[in-house]
Amino acid sequence: MSKKKSQLMNSFVSEHVSASTNSMSDLQADHDLWYKIRVLLHDLHNIANDHAAQARTQNPTDEFYISGPYFTLEEAARIKGTIVPSPILAEIPELEELEFEGDSEHHISPHSSPRS
């Protein structure tokens, strides 16, 4: 995509985003849009082993894939205007696991000997 077209699209999205904000519930209520979001997530998750997913992910005009072929300009603006609350640690068990693993690396038991 040309730089001028990209700037035009970003300008459109910025204007639309400033005019309205959505919540995750708003996006989920639009079943067609929510389906498209799920297709994008599927494609990103399966890009290595699904040729159709790989082909679709090569065409977006937005660095975050929030564009065609997945979304129209209006849909992209709605998604980018969505307020997503920050998750808490309990909602992301993978992060809790990583934090625990990191702490155990620095834990010294009374039975361990110092490194030389």
Residue by residue, pLDDT tens for the chain (116 residues) are: 455 655 555 565 555 544 568 899 999 999 999 999 999 999 999 999 999 999 999 988 888 999 999 999 999 999 999 998 887 777 666 665 555 555 555 444 444 444 54
Q: What pLDDT is stored for residue 99 in this prediction?
A: 55
Among residues 83, 77, 75, which one has the least CA distance to residue 24?
83
Q: Is the pTM of this model over 0.95?
A: no
Distance CA 78, CA 8 (A): 17
Among residues 64, 78, 69, which one has the least CA distance to residue 15?
78
Burial of 84 (0-12, 13-18, 19+ CB in 10 A): exposed
Distance CA 60, CA 1 (A): 9
Q: What pLDDT is stored for residue 59 in this prediction?
A: 81
Distance CA 35, CA 114 (A): 55
